Structure 1
Amino acid sequence: MTIGVWILGDQLSLNQSALMRSSNERNQTRAIMIESPSHVGKRPYHRQKVVLLWSAMRHFRDALRNRRWKCDYYSHAEDFESTLKNWVSDHSISELRVMEPNDRPFMMALSKIEIGCPIEVLPNNQFLWTTDEFREWASGRKRLVLEYFYREGRRKFDVLMDGPDPAGGVWNYDKQNREPPREDLEPPSPVWFEPDKMTQEVVERVELLNIPLFGESQPFRWGVTREHAQAVLEHFIKEGFSFFGPQEDAMRIGHPYMWHSLLSPYLNIGLIHPSEVLERVQKEYEKGGLELQSVEGFVRQILGWREYLRGVYHFVQEDYAESNYFQCDGTIPSFFWTGETKMRCLQ
């Protein structure tokens, strides 16, 4: 009997549920990772997003192999289903395990594929709230108010709490975190990473793809490993937190990143977990190294908005995208992809 584990491109964590479920059966388990240009071509992705995903996947493959996981990697797959079907047959896979995708259409497609063995879908553990927990919180409510959910999350996970009360006696410092941009402040430079050979190979491959992508693939400076993600977090704690809160909504020409952490891509593909981000920030706050005003604003993004939007996405009905409450019938302008507009926020 050989157990299969399919690792999706945004599930790059050694602690993701499908790997954890199989950790005691490592000798009889094979993992599979798949790059599919045809799948990427279904949506107009930015080229750097594709480079980030595929390079991070390849680095994660190597991290798995270094930990004695058997991992097969398909870098030129036409599609997922036929690749999985052939792989299942070639390696006599008796059962395929996969962590629940965050994308609902992808989950629907997963439920319909035929690959020659049963598929076990494990709960997604890359968020703090499970979808069932959010559904329990949301059911029966007339309005799904972010602030109420955020406060419940603070209590549930004991983040910035002083017993039953919020640290500092205030739940939300948003009113204090609306300063206009200040010319006398120089935002910190982001921490970037030079592409290694593997990443450069991915850059070159993406540049040759004949699919509808947008944006430039170079210069590519994003991190592609867990170590990179941890370095970005530490850089933010040391350099970005000082004015993050007051300046979190401020924008300045020539400063696209301002005081923001740039952690989102690493959280979204599993290289770092929201719980460790919150624990690290709270630890630094308790040492007296960070201002509560900025810490609360950051916690609200991770524990509030991020968890809330993911919960709502899985809570609403399947036809929600077609509900069109405001009766809009225009197409999205091309400048949303090209940036060719006089609107600074989209350039």
Structure 2
Amino acid sequence: MSVRNLILLLGDQLDPAISSLAGADPASDHILLIEADEEGRYVPHHPQKIVFILSAMRHFAENLSSRGFSVDYIRLDDPANTGSLDGELARARARLAPERILLTEPGEWRLLERFRQRQDDWPELELCPDTRFFCSSERFARWAEGRKQLRMEYFYREMRRESGLLMTAEGQPEGGSWNYDEDNRKPLPTGHAVPDQPHFPADAITQAVCALVATRFTDHYGALDGFDYPVTHAEAEQLWQCFRRQALAQFGDFQDAMAVDQRWLFHARIAAALNIGLLDPRRVCLDVQADWQAGLIPLNAAEGFIRQILGWREYVRGIYWLMMPDYAERNTFGNQRALPEFYWTGQTRMRCMQQAIGQTLEHAYAHHIQRLMVTGNFALLAGIEPKQICDWYLAVYMDAFDWVELPNTLGMVMHADGGFLGSKPYCASGQYIKRMSNYCSGCSYKVGEQTGARACPFNALYWHFIMRHRDQLSGNPRMGLVYRNLQRMPEAKQQALWDWGEHLLVRLDAGEAL
């Protein structure tokens, strides 16, 4: 049988409506899915992340087979597996001699460049645009052209107008405001009930993948026991509907809240499913709008959730494709400090870091404020080399793919792009963590103290960061109040904060866990 199209599907392209499958004919097309060892190792991906992707791939392959497609599935433990995507594609090409090879553009620069280079030798290889997003990279580039600042808020407003989401018939934002972020910064009240999460028991496919990962990735950080993520479209839909019923109404109020031993709170934890194609972002946003129109959820919850997908998710992808590959090398502050070992172990006396890192290692998950204002904030204040913290985020989080992780970490967390993505560094002392969580209660350190052995390390490191980058940041309008407060601070106190910050950084350089 001659093969018309050989369609390669990557592990984050498990969407039956993906562009490479458009018009696919079971009678004449073959589909290829590859478990490639190097894709699990270019950073030490969390074992649960590897299980999630491989199990979802195997389930999707079964679905395609049930629809009559010929599916060539290359397993990780296949003795002939070359370990690389292009190596396995070359083997399939030689075996099947297809008229065309179709591949939806990969979501990572390294893979897109690799397959673009292969087109020189394989003229039949065609790269299809990824149409799963509201905004194509070309559309984003047109929006960015000629702008001095590429602020997400203005991009988001344009996406609202184009999509019609939460817009009146007169072209105005529902409720009269574009953004209800001021209403979405509440800490979780003591004793406030949080919703239960659905569970997804491992079936035979997932169990087999777990056993395989347990034997092949023994040197990777993170627990494998307790894997509990949706790996099919039906399970992802179950997770989404549960969130709509139980948590969406309070998502807006508590999206920035943090609490001891509360992993999920009012978050949907659907980002990983969205990023590999188990859920459709357009339909998710329409569901949220429908819930608001039906009076089931308040406007601040609907707008806050839609902004995360229609606004932020689309924006960071646009930044990624606009700025790569040079973007990945940016390091505005010249940071060179190594990532502390406790990021991989969770062994630190800082309770907020214990909580955020501990649940990351246990579940490959932390929500955006834990990432930005706890683990990310510490990395920024401590002057960690951007590439090291970016690689850590890419490795440990279930939903981390380069297009979404790199701008979030390098730009938003580390401000290493010099303010291209964020107008100011997102830095804070321990007081922010105290305000938004109950982590400080019972911590070995005292958030009310700034220097000395009992003082919260975030406090002195915050002021040390502000002082050491005075020349770069004091002219930033959004940092003016901070530097006026510093100027009013007695010199003796400034010196004490600097000296204690230096002491903490020396300890980090010596490999000590704070």
- TM bin, normalised by shorter chain, reads over 0.9
* Cross-structure match for 1:127: 133
Contact 1:85 1:116 in 2 (8 A): no
Matched, 1:290 2:301: no
* CA deviation string 1:181-230 (max 9, x = no partner): 21131111211200000000000000001464220111111000001111
Pick from 127, 144, 164: which aligns with 1:138? 144
* CA deviation string 1:273-311 (max 9, x = no partner): 100101111112111111111111101111111111111
Which stretch has the larger CA shift, 288-297 or 183-192?
A: 183-192
Contact 1:44 1:214 in 2 (8 A): yes
Which stretch has the larger CA shift, 133-142 or 83-92?
A: 83-92
* Cross-structure match for 2:68: 68
Which stretch has the larger CA shift, 182-191 or 333-342?
A: 333-342
Contact 2:249 2:296 in 1 (8 A): no
Contact 2:36 2:85 in 1 (8 A): yes
* CA deviation string 1:226-256 (max 9, x = no partner): 0111111110110011211111100000101
Q: C-alpha distance in 1, partners of 2:290/2:309?
A: 16
User: How far is 1:133 from its partner?
Assistant: 0.6
Contact 1:35 1:54 in 2 (8 A): yes
User: How far is 1:37 from its partner?
Assistant: 1.5
Secondary structure at the counterpart of residue 107 of structure 2: coil
Pick from 233, 241, 247: which aligns with 2:248? 241
Which stretch has the larger CA shift, 149-158 or 337-346?
A: 337-346
User: Structure 2 matches for 1:268-347, cutoff 5 A?
Assistant: 268-341=275-348, 342=350, 343=353, 344-347=355-358
* Cross-structure match for 2:161: 155
User: How far is 1:126 from its partner?
Assistant: 2.0
Pick from 91, 95, 109: which aligns with 1:90? 95
Give, as a single letter, the amino acid of the residue that structure 2 aligns with 1:68: G
Contact 2:55 2:205 in 1 (8 A): yes
Q: C-alpha distance in 2, partners of 1:38/1:211?
A: 15
Q: C-alpha distance in 2, partners of 1:224/1:256?
A: 20
* Cross-structure match for 2:26: 26
Matched, 1:4 2:43: no
Contact 2:166 2:174 in 1 (8 A): yes
Secondary structure at the counterpart of residue 4 of structure 1: strand
Q: C-alpha distance in 1, partners of 2:127/2:343?
A: 35
Q: Give the 3 Å change call, closer, same or farther, for CA 130–116 of structure 1 in structure 2.
A: closer
User: How far is 1:116 from its partner?
Assistant: 5.1
Matched, 1:264 2:271: yes
Secondary structure at the counterpart of residue 150 of structure 1: helix
Which stretch has the larger CA shift, 169-178 or 329-338?
A: 329-338
Q: C-alpha distance in 2, partners of 1:285/1:56?
A: 31
Structure 1 unaligned spans of 5+: none
When normalised by structure 2's length, the TM-score is: 0.65
Matched, 1:232 2:239: yes
Contact 1:223 1:229 in 2 (8 A): yes
Q: Give the 3 Å change call, closer, same or farther, for CA 199–323 of structure 1 in structure 2.
A: same
Secondary structure at the counterpart of residue 140 of structure 1: coil
| Structure with more helix by fraction | 2
Contact 1:89 1:116 in 2 (8 A): no
Secondary structure at the counterpart of residue 52 of structure 2: helix
User: How far is 1:337 from its partner?
Assistant: 2.9
* Cross-structure match for 1:17: 19
Q: C-alpha distance in 1, partners of 2:113/2:219?
A: 24
Give, as a single letter, the amino acid of the residue that structure 2 aligns with 1:182: P
Give, as a single letter, the amino acid of the residue that structure 1 aligns with 2:21: L
Q: C-alpha distance in 2, partners of 1:30/1:248?
A: 44
Q: C-alpha distance in 2, partners of 1:211/1:113?
A: 32
* Cross-structure match for 1:203: 210
Matched, 1:101 2:106: yes
Q: C-alpha distance in 1, partners of 2:284/2:89?
A: 34
Structure 2 unaligned spans of 5+: 359-514
Q: C-alpha distance in 2, partners of 1:104/1:229?
A: 27
Contact 2:11 2:53 in 1 (8 A): yes
* CA deviation string 1:125-144 (max 9, x = no partner): 22111111111111111111
When normalised by structure 1's length, the TM-score is: 0.96
* Cross-structure match for 2:378: none
Give, as a single letter, the amino acid of the residue that structure 2 aligns with 1:173: Y
Give, as a single letter, the amino acid of the residue that structure 2 aligns with 1:47: P
Taking only aligned residues, the RMSD between alpha carbons, in angstroms, comes to 1.5
Q: C-alpha distance in 2, partners of 1:33/1:262?
A: 26
User: How far is 1:122 from its partner?
Assistant: 0.2
* Cross-structure match for 1:165: 172
Which stretch has the larger CA shift, 113-122 or 213-222?
A: 113-122
Q: C-alpha distance in 1, partners of 2:176/2:260?
A: 36
Q: C-alpha distance in 2, partners of 1:142/1:135?
A: 13
User: How far is 1:106 from its partner?
Assistant: 1.1
User: How far is 1:88 from its partner?
Assistant: 1.2
Q: Give the 3 Å change call, closer, same or farther, for CA 242–210 of structure 1 in structure 2.
A: closer
* Cross-structure match for 1:184: 191
Please tell me whether Structure 1 or Structure 2 has the larger radius of gyration of its CA atoms: 2
Q: C-alpha distance in 2, partners of 1:4/1:156?
A: 35
Give, as a single letter, the amino acid of the residue that structure 2 aligns with 1:65: S
Q: C-alpha distance in 1, partners of 2:218/2:111?
A: 19
Q: Give the 3 Å change call, closer, same or farther, for CA 334–110 of structure 1 in structure 2.
A: farther
Structure 1 segments (4+ residues) deviating >6 Å: none
Q: Give the 3 Å change call, closer, same or farther, for CA 124–166 of structure 1 in structure 2.
A: same
* Cross-structure match for 2:497: none
* Cross-structure match for 1:40: 40
